[in-house]
Structure 1
Amino acid sequence: MQKPQPNFYNLAWRWHFYAGLFVAPFMVMLALTGIIYLFKPQLDSLMYSSLLEVPSGHHTVPADDLLQRVKSAYPQGQVTQYLPPPNAERSAQFVVKNAGHELNVFVDPYHGDILGEQDAKQNLQAIARAIHGELMIGTVGDRLIEMAAGWGVVLVVSGLFLWWPRGQAAGILWPRLNSRGRVLWRDLHAVTGFWGATLLLLMLLSGMTWTGFWGKQYAQVWNVFPAAMWENVPTSDIEARSLNSATRQTVPWAMENTPMPMSGDHAEHMAHGNAHAGPAAPAVSLQAVQDIASERKVEPGYSITLPTTATGVFTIAVFADDPRNDATLHVDQYTGKVLADVRFEHYGTVARATEIGVMLHEGKMFGTFNQIVVLLICLMILLSAVSGVVIWWKRRPEGKFGVPPLRHDLPTWKTGVAIMLVLAVVFPLVGASLVVVWLLDRFVLPRVARRTADMPR
């Protein structure tokens, strides 16, 4: 008599349950903050038009004169960045560190009038970005987001196994809308999850490239530039990622692990990486740096980060909506020499693909169409998360947690183990948490369940 095939459905369901339990709150948060950041151009124009928009004029005020106006208005402040107007009807912007705050200061480029200021870390978009990237709690938040994204992969893979058709199409490829209660919620959850699985995986993986642990390792493997690009330039131990923060993106992802060059002939004789030899004293004007960007046809929308030390550089950078227009230039603050000029064509194949993935993730690559697609993905994520919680609540035994039951006489599920091992190797934080959850499920939860069952009622 042939031995019946073991049924691993409940085991997959159990891990899908654990993944959903952890991931669902994060997915809701990522979807909501993602929608806010997705429509940043429209929301900024709506909320801050008085700061962003100016009547088009004939002659612009030189960048250095604008800089002096800002310095006069904030005598105790430190100007760290300048963003020239991206078009004829937009204001210029300076980033100023003043009295413990980072401010975005907007200036009319035609008259030099200061239009107003905005707290760079406390406006709607900055808060949404900071929550989306690190829950506004720094490294711990970043690691939690990374784990949630990795467990999201477990959720998708186990969900596809549970969804896999077993002889019917209704409730599999389309929901049974004439149903009610738990059946309808189950169909909405399964069908939405299936049709959005590939897109969700792409969103998870493209988003993980920005994480502090996995993303940094990924960048170190794939963001490789020819050594010759830096051979004749004195470089520091500081990486370009230092110009990015949770609330502000300056250099493209592909440039984050590249070394920052140093200004001045004396830089070669300084201790390697010593970037604290004194304050910056640029001999090159800000307008001259802006002219370099124009001469080298850098895409409008770029920023110019000012040097803060004697060996620092001006950095012209644009993280373009179309990654093919990415540019990062480092300029010597004393001579105006361009020490590095890195464009999209210098990126490796994987770095190019990653940059394109990031722009698709942010809804910027194809304008409004891209925004609508990403909005639909976010709404799908919200529907999947909400419907999953409703299904659990409706089937949960009264007074119990409702973990899917598991037969203990099952043999080892080799395919499942292989998938988990691959995930553990590719995503180490997920691997560590998988081991913790497995140990809890194997040794702790059964004891808790037995004690609860033995308690007098």
Structure 2
Amino acid sequence: MAAAPGMRWYNAVWRWHFYAGLFCMPFVLWLAATGTIYLWKPQIEAWLERPYNSLTPTGPRASAETQVRAALAAVPGATLHRYQLPQAPGEAARVIVGKDRAETRVYVDPYRLRVLRIEAESERPMRVISDLHGKFRAGNPGSYLVEIAACWTVTMLLTGLYLWWPRRVRGLGGVFYPRLGRGKRLFWRDLHAVAGIWVAVLALFLISTGLPWAKFWGSYFKEVRTATGTLDGPQDWPTGARPMLGDHAEHGGMAMPHTVAPGGALDRVVAAAYPLGIAAPVLLAPPSQGTDWTITSDAANRPQRTRITVDGTTGALTSRRDFADRHWLDRAVGYGIAAHEGALFGLANQLLGTLTALLLATLSVSGTVMWWRRRPQGLLGAPAPLSRPRYGPVLIGAILLLAAAMPLFGATLALAAIGDRLLLPRWPAAQRWLGLAPIRA
């Protein structure tokens, strides 16, 4: 007896949900763990850097240029990239220097001119966490893999919402809260479904705000903006691997061979920067040519950022561009990234992000438990296929829309379809293990 059309659709969606979930769950757990750690970056960095923020002033503070010279002496052959403007008397100077296509952060006691610590920018603890989160510390290939997992997580969430949608249910149990005391099988099913519905919107937001960082999608977005004439200067966020500079270096992320400008230019720029009231941390970068120094806010809350240039010979402000002056697309991405990193609305943002990560982890663990408990011995345990439903124009249009919005999803979906049609029919053992052999009446 043939399955009803509605049942065929439900079964097909369930199979897509199963395969997407099985692929995505390890990535979701990884991203939830590393993302949660990164959400608390301000508190973690404040604790890690406490020895360099509580120095005892002894006598007058050395000039900024003298501090930079001490840092350059500690890394022979290096050149100045950025100087971080101190915000309190007890802060050590942070001087970022470059050598051999890599950056080093040097902590200098501004009173005794002692070098307190030398640290590779790429090995700073929160930079490592960020790299693990976005690229598995594997460069652009890792970024591609994370992006593919993110795209298929969208599919997992959307198909999960379809499966969750209440059908002939009484009450809210199993829909908005798990039903307890009715057996382990129902408990894990409810836990999975309820965690999924509560986290779906937040997770889709996190994925969409994380895509601009991805190597492929970020480059794709930039090309679209170029073609549509909406690109407005260098992006304020990195895409893919960055072998030379940090996340928010000047000149759009390109390394420039700076040296300390003669004649007290840095000290004049420092004197000009303090009255401007720019959100910390404030980075001062020498000119690659000409006399204009760049002053940028590297605030985690991106709507507070600004970019200013100051003439190093006179200390006069020559240009200023605040967040509000950027293109609306840049502002939209900036707000999204700030929320993604837990910086847009303070502690509440961090707590909401942490709750989202916990719900995603619950979703993954409960799904894994359900699969493990139900799977037949020696088989993958995918839902058995019924006769194929017909693909109507609405579904085809939705798939094409998702493929256009997330090209790597479209590419991997095409590969999966090709494998399903051309390769698996020639491999009966794999078909049986994957649960692709149809059930015959």
Aligned to 2:218: 215
Stretch of structure 1 that moved more, 67-76 or 325-334 = 325-334
Amino acid at match of 1:302: V
Amino acid at match of 1:249: D
For 1:442-457, list aligned pairs within 5 A: 442-449=421-428
Identity of aligned residues (%): 30
1:176 aligns with 2:174: no
Count residues with an aligned counterpart: 424
Amino acid at match of 1:387: S
Q: 1:57 to 1:166 in 2, by over 3 A?
A: farther
Aligned to 2:409: 430
Q: 1:150 to 1:400 in 2, by over 3 A?
A: same
Task: Output the CA distance in 1 between the equivalents of 2:281 and 2:329.
Answer: 25
Amino acid at match of 1:378: A
Amino acid at match of 1:196: V
1:388 aligns with 2:367: yes
Offset from partner CA, 1:67-96 (integer Å, 9 cap, x none): 122123333333322112234443221123
Aligned to 2:268: 288
Asked if 2 retains the 8 angstrom alpha-carbon contact of 1:279 and 1:310, the reply is: no
The one of 302, 313, 316 equivalent to 2:282 is 302
Q: 1:156 to 1:42 in 2, by over 3 A?
A: same
Aligned to 1:6: 6
Aligned to 1:193: 196
Aligned to 1:248: 246
Q: 1:88 to 1:417 in 2, by over 3 A?
A: farther
Amino acid at match of 2:405: V
Post-superposition shift, 1:372? Answer: 0.9
Q: 1:412 to 1:74 in 2, by over 3 A?
A: closer
For 1:96-107, list aligned pairs within 5 A: 96-97=97-98, 102-107=103-108
- SS of 2:122 mapped into structure 1: coil
Asked if 1 retains the 8 angstrom alpha-carbon contact of 2:311 and 2:318, the reply is: yes
1:323 aligns with 2:302: yes
Post-superposition shift, 1:447? Answer: 4.1
Amino acid at match of 2:65: D
Asked if 1 retains the 8 angstrom alpha-carbon contact of 2:10 and 2:163, the reply is: yes
Aligned to 1:112: 113
Q: 1:24 to 1:226 in 2, by over 3 A?
A: closer
Asked if 2 retains the 8 angstrom alpha-carbon contact of 1:251 and 1:328, the reply is: no
Task: Output the CA distance in 2 between the equivalents of 1:314 and 1:378.
Answer: 41
Task: Output the CA distance in 2 between the equivalents of 1:171 and 1:279.
Answer: 61
Task: Output the CA distance in 1 between the equivalents of 2:229 and 2:389.
Answer: 50
Offset from partner CA, 1:196-230 (integer Å, 9 cap, x none): 11100110000111112212332455599999x99
Q: 1:210 to 1:335 in 2, by over 3 A?
A: farther
The one of 372, 376, 399 equivalent to 2:351 is 372
Aligned to 2:438: none
Task: Output the CA distance in 2 between the equivalents of 1:221 and 1:332.
Answer: 35
1:60 aligns with 2:39: no
- SS of 1:209 mapped into structure 2: helix
Q: 1:330 to 1:147 in 2, by over 3 A?
A: farther
Aligned to 2:45: 44
Post-superposition shift, 1:174? Answer: 1.0
Q: 1:330 to 1:322 in 2, by over 3 A?
A: same
Q: 1:54 to 1:176 in 2, by over 3 A?
A: same
Stretch of structure 1 that moved more, 397-406 or 326-335 = 326-335
Task: Output the CA distance in 2 between the equivalents of 1:54 and 1:220.
Answer: 48
Offset from partner CA, 1:424-447 (integer Å, 9 cap, x none): 011111111111112223343344
Amino acid at match of 2:283: S
Q: 1:410 to 1:100 in 2, by over 3 A?
A: closer
Task: Output the CA distance in 2 between the equivalents of 1:80 and 1:171.
Answer: 56
Post-superposition shift, 1:135? Answer: 1.5
Post-superposition shift, 1:406? Answer: 1.7
Asked if 2 retains the 8 angstrom alpha-carbon contact of 1:82 and 1:94, the reply is: yes
1:125 aligns with 2:126: yes
Asked if 2 retains the 8 angstrom alpha-carbon contact of 1:82 and 1:93, the reply is: yes
Aligned to 1:344: 323
Offset from partner CA, 1:30-67 (integer Å, 9 cap, x none): 11111121112222233332134334688533211111
Asked if 2 retains the 8 angstrom alpha-carbon contact of 1:250 and 1:318, the reply is: no
Task: Output the CA distance in 1 between the equivalents of 2:406 and 2:144.
Answer: 11
Post-superposition shift, 1:166? Answer: 1.0
Mark the runs of 5 or more structure 2 residues left unpaired by the alignment.
434-441
Task: Output the CA distance in 2 between the equivalents of 1:205 and 1:394.
Answer: 33
Task: Output the CA distance in 1 between the equivalents of 2:57 and 2:370.
Answer: 56
Asked if 2 retains the 8 angstrom alpha-carbon contact of 1:222 and 1:351, the reply is: no
- SS of 2:156 mapped into structure 1: helix
